[in-house]
Amino acid sequence: MLSASAAEVSVRPIGSGTYELVLTNPTSLSESEARAQIAKVAASVCQGGTAIPGKWKFESKETIGGAPSSPEPNAFRFVQEVSCVAGPQAQSAVRLPTLRNEEEARQAREEVRQKSEAYFKHIASRRVDEAIANVALARMGVNEARWKSDKLAFQASAGEPLQIVISKTTVYDNPEGAPEQGLYVAADYSNVYRDMPIHCGYLMWFRPVGGGEFRITREEAGYVTAEQLKSIPGAQVTEIKRRLRCVAP
């Protein structure tokens, strides 16, 4: 099995002291593995200064069903912006929780669950203007026109929604290492559409310190269409769902 040792990282200047680092690997890596590889190269690029990570995104391609095939040269692609600043990084202050008790955590989980369901329903009914109001486009590094076009194309391919399930919500209260201080809530979902019986992944919602509305800062999805599912042996479906990070309701 190929690992992060086979990864390649290219570097492209995009501004004064700012670079775009692109990691490619023949097989999928975890986010932590990709970040570790990027960090090594970024440290070299910044030449003794401090590498400050910025916007990032990734895509992963895996073959499902049928006979196994050779890994694609660029099956996994992770893109990270990095800014170099002079001197060693100052030790950051300890991050304090933003929630006062478990009841506030429960309220945050419930709010995100409701917002996640509404988000998918808006897309299903092609109300992309309402859906995009929940998306932090700048933090996700996406263009509004492209985002709307992608969502409309997805819904045309998926068909009528038969089941929208937010199977789990997880609170990360002002975690160390997060790009911005605040409350993060991950919403795992497992949806079913007429022409896409498997659609799984998670939404990461963020609310900054001091309050404000939750916005989506990351969306990860995997899916299998009805046509693809016909060619997958029944015994493999559970494994496919595991690989797509489906979480049972």
Of 56, 81, 66, 70, the residue nearest 27 (C-alpha): 70
Whose tokens are 């929604």? That residue is 161
DSSP 71-114: PPTTSEEEEEEEEEESSPPPPPPPPPPS--SHHHHHHHHHHHHH
- Rounded to two decimals, the pTM is 0.69
The 8-class DSSP code of residue 70 comes to: P
Does 116 reside within a domain? Answer: yes
Same domain, 63 and 118: no
Q: Domain check: are 63 and 34 in the same one?
A: yes
- Residue 249 counted as domain residue: no
Q: Are residues 127 and 230 in the same domain?
A: yes
Last residue of a domain, one of 39, 55, 85: 85
- Residue 94 belongs to some domain of the structure: no
- Look at residue 50 and tell me if it is in a domain: yes
Choosing from 28, 59, 85, the residue where a domain stops is: 85
* Residue 50: per-residue pLDDT: 80
Q: What pLDDT does residue 69 have? A: 52
Tell whether 145 is covered by a domain. yes
* pLDDT at 91 (0 to 100): 46
Measured CA to CA in angstroms, residue 158 lies from 11, 151, 163, 240 at distances of 37, 10, 12, 18
pLDDT at 2: 36
Is 248 a domain residue? no
* 96 domain residue, yes or no: no
Whether residue 131 sits in one domain with residue 44: no
Per-residue pLDDT, 66: 52
In the chain, how many domains are there? 2
- pLDDT score of 81: 85
- pLDDT by residue for the chain (249 residues), tens only, comes to 334 456 899 999 988 888 999 999 888 777 778 888 888 898 889 887 788 777 777 776 665 555 555 555 567 888 888 888 876 554 445 778 999 999 999 999 999 999 999 999 999 999 999 999 999 988 887 889 999 999 999 999 999 999 999 999 999 999 877 778 899 999 999 999 999 999 999 999 999 988 889 999 999 899 999 999 999 998 889 888 888 878 654
Is 53 within a domain?
A: yes
What residues make up the domain containing 9? Answer: 4-85
